[in-house]
């Protein structure tokens, strides 16, 4: 029997490593982007989870290194739990996302968590493992690994405030990882079909008819003025923010009008305003000037005592 790895296997292995390198490069690009001091823990833990799980996928257990894969898997779990703990625990506004209007980028985050749970349950001794048996259990473990990497990469590529370069590099890294999986898995076609199906399901959340109920929920939620005060923004041209003053779209409040007009997912009020407010603050921080909150939810959404907020508004 021919024991030498054939060309396809060799290419597949290199594709996995190339994917890992690209993901690492994407992570470096993100780390170079300014953010708030309070957001660094969430960012670093999330990126560490992506890299360790992608490394576990690309570096499978071999007879001479049986434990490396397991260690990477446990490290990824620790980083993922830390990331969720920091965001959901320290940023209360996070829970407001859990409505029918949950943004697609958060859906991909939950998909990653579900895939992690499936990968773990299929591999650890237990009821699911017993029912599936070792061979099928192992296959579920590997498939869940690919779904996990894809969902995590999509989550990071979609969250507000990430540069185009980082998005392209991360998605290219993911593509290499998936290509290696399709070549390497005996059921490569089934893997490709699974990933395609999930991608379609997530994309469907952004278009009719599934987007309808989600947008309705978003419109019904009360306007959150997000601590915006003109007195924090002196000396800026009105029309720089108030495009409605120049394009004659009307003269009402930005948020109420935007809630009403937003008819497609791309115009979701939070994603659009997060980019509008946060990217100016990020550019100012980058330029070494005074800046406002960038990614730290509490910077804009902190629940101030209502009296204090009213007093700040009245003082303008």
Stretch that binds ligand HEC, among 1-9, 93-101, 132-140, 143-151 (CB under 6 A): 93-101
Q: Supply the minimum distance, in Å, between the C-beta of residue 207 and ligand HEC.
A: 15
Instruction: Tell me if 241 contacts ligand HEC by CB under 6 A.
Output: yes
- Distance (Å, whole) CA 46 – CA 85: 11
Quick one: which of 124, 131, 230, 303 contacts ligand HEC (CB under 6 A)?
Answer: 230
- CB-based contact 259:219 (threshold 8 Å): yes
Quick one: which of 43, 155, 274, 282 contacts ligand HEC (CB under 6 A)?
Answer: 274
Which is nearer to ligand HEC, 180 or 265 (by Cβ)? 265
Quick one: which of 115, 158, 270, 282 contacts ligand HEC (CB under 6 A)?
Answer: 270
- CB-based contact 278:194 (threshold 8 Å): no
Sequence-separated (6 or more) residues with CB below 8 Å from residue 260? 219
Instruction: Tell me if 291 contacts ligand HEC by CB under 6 A.
Output: yes
Instruction: Tell me if 236 contacts ligand HEC by CB under 6 A.
Output: yes
- Phi/psi-derived region of residue 288, left when phi > 0, alpha when psi is between -120 and 50, beta in every other case: left
In the complex, which residues of this chain contact ligand HEC (CB under 6 A)?
Answer: 91, 93-94, 96-97, 218, 221, 223-228, 230, 232-233, 236, 238, 240-244, 249-250, 252-255, 257-258, 261, 267, 269-270, 272-274, 276-278, 280-281, 284, 290-293, 295-297, 299-301
């Amino acid at each position: 029997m021919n024991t030498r790895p054939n060309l396809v296997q060799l290419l597949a292995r290199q594709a996995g490593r190339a994917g890992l390198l690209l993901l690492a490069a994407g992570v470096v690009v993100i780390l170079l982007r300014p953010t708030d001091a309070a957001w660094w823990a969430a960012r670093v833990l999330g990126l560490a989870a992506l890299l360790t799980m992608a490394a576990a996928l690309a570096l499978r257990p071999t007879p001479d290194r049986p434990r490396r894969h397991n260690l990477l898997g446990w490290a990824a779990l620790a980083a993922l739990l830390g990331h969720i703990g920091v965001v959901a625990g320290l940023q209360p506004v996070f829970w407001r996302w859990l409505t029918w209007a949950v943004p697609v980028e958060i859906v991909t985050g939950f998909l990653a968590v579900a895939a992690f749970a499936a990968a773990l349950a299929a591999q650890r001794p237990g009821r699911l493992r017993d029912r599936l048996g070792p061979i099928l259990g192992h296959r579920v473990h590997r498939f869940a690994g690919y779904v996990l990497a894809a969902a995590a990469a999509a989550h990071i590529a979609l969250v507000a405030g990430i540069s185009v370069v980082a998005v392209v590099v991360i998605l290219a890294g993911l593509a290499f990882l998936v290509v290696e999986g399709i070549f390497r898995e005996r059921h490569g076609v089934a893997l490709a079909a699974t990933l395609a199906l999930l991608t379609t399901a997530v994309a469907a959340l952004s278009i009719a008819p599934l987007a309808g109920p989600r947008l309705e929920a978003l419109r019904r939620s009360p306007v959150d003025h997000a601590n915006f005060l003109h007195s924090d923004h002196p000396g800026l041209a009105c029309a720089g923010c108030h495009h409605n003053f120049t394009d004659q779209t009307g003269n009402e409040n930005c948020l109420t009008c935007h809630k009403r007009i937003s008819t497609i997912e791309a115009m979701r009020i939070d994603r659009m305003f997060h980019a509008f407010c946060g990217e100016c603050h990020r550019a100012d921080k980058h330029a070494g000037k005074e800046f406002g909150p960038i990614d730290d939810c509490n910077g804009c959404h902190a629940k101030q005592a209502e009296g204090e907020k009213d007093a700040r508004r009245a003082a303008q």
